[in-house]
Amino acid sequence: MKSVSLHEVAELVGGVIAGFDGDAKQLIITGVNTLSSADASQISFLANKRYSDAVAQTDAAAILVSDAAADPDGCSVIRVRDPYLAFAKLQRLFHPELPASGIRHDSAVIHPEARLAIDVEVGANAVIGEQVTIGEGSRIGAGCIIGDRVSIGKNCLLHAKAVVAHDCVLGNEVYLQSGAVVGSDGFGYAWSGQQHLKIPQVGRVILEDDVEIGANTCIDRGAIEDTVIERGVKLDNQIQIAHNVRVGAFTVMASQVGISGSTTIGKGCQFGGQAGTAGHLNIGDGVKLAAKSGVISDLEAGGTYAGVPAMPHRMWLKVSALMMKLPELWKAQRNR
Residues 279-305: b if buried by 16+ CB within 10 A, e if exposed: eebebbbbbbbbebbbbeeebeeebeb
The answer to whether 224 contacts its own copies (rule: CB under 8 A) is yes
Which residues in the 231-270 window bind its own copies by CB under 8 A?
232, 234, 236-238, 240, 242, 250, 252, 254-256, 258, 260
β-partners of residue 219 are 182, 241
Q: Which of 29, 64, 116, 165 binds its own copies (CB under 8 A)?
A: 165
Which residues in the 77-96 window bind its own copies by CB under 8 A?
82, 84-85, 87-89, 91-92, 94-95
Catalytic residue among 105, 243, 280, 313: 243
Distance CA 38, CA 277 (A): 42
Amino acid at 63: I
H-helix or E-strand containing 243?
Answer: none
Q: How far is the CB of 206 from its own copies (least distance, A)?
A: 15
Residue placing its CB nearer to its own copies in the complex, 19 or 41: 41
Cβ-count burial of 332 within 10 angstroms (0-12 exposed, 13-18 middle, 19+ buried)?
exposed
Which residues in the 190-219 window bind its own copies by CB under 8 A?
190-192, 195-200, 202, 210, 212, 214-216, 218
Please indicate whether residue 196 is annotated as part of the active site: no
Residues 61-83: b if buried by 16+ CB within 10 A, e if exposed: bbbbbbeebeebeebbbbbbebb
Classify strands 189-191 and 169-170 as parallel, antiparallel or unpaired: unpaired
Contact region with its own copies (CB under 8 A), list: 6-14, 21-29, 65-73, 117-125? 117-125
Q: How far is the CB of 77 from its own copies (least distance, A)?
A: 18
- Say if CB 138 and CB 122 are below 8 A apart: no
With H, G, I as helix, E, B as strand and everything else as coil, classify residue 331.
helix
Q: Name residues whose C-beta falls within 8 Å of residue 57's C-beta, 6 or more positions apart in sequence.
A: 35, 36
Q: Which of 15, 72, 123, 153 binds its own copies (CB under 8 A)?
A: 123
- Say if CB 178 and CB 161 are below 8 A apart: yes
The answer to whether 142 contacts its own copies (rule: CB under 8 A) is yes
Q: How far is the CB of 23 from its own copies (least distance, A)?
A: 27
Query: DSSP secondary structure string, 20-88?
Result: --S-TTT-EE-EE--TTT--TTEEEE--SGGGGGGGTT---SEEEEETTSPPPSSS-EEEES-HHHHHH
The answer to whether 187 contacts its own copies (rule: CB under 8 A) is yes
Residue placing its CB nearer to its own copies in the complex, 24 or 66: 66
Show the binding pattern over residues 94-113: x = contacts its own copies (CB under 8 A), - = does not. xx-x-------x-x-x----
Which residues in the 2-21 window bind its own copies by CB under 8 A?
none
Q: Which of 181, 207, 245, 283 binds its own copies (CB under 8 A)?
A: 181
Contact region with its own copies (CB under 8 A), list: 8-16, 62-70, 130-138, 175-183? 175-183
Distance CA 243, CA 97 (A): 32
The answer to whether 54 contacts its own copies (rule: CB under 8 A) is no
The answer to whether 278 contacts its own copies (rule: CB under 8 A) is yes
Contact region with its own copies (CB under 8 A), list: 1-9, 11-19, 56-64, 291-299? 291-299
The answer to whether 22 contacts its own copies (rule: CB under 8 A) is no
Active-site annotation, residues? 243
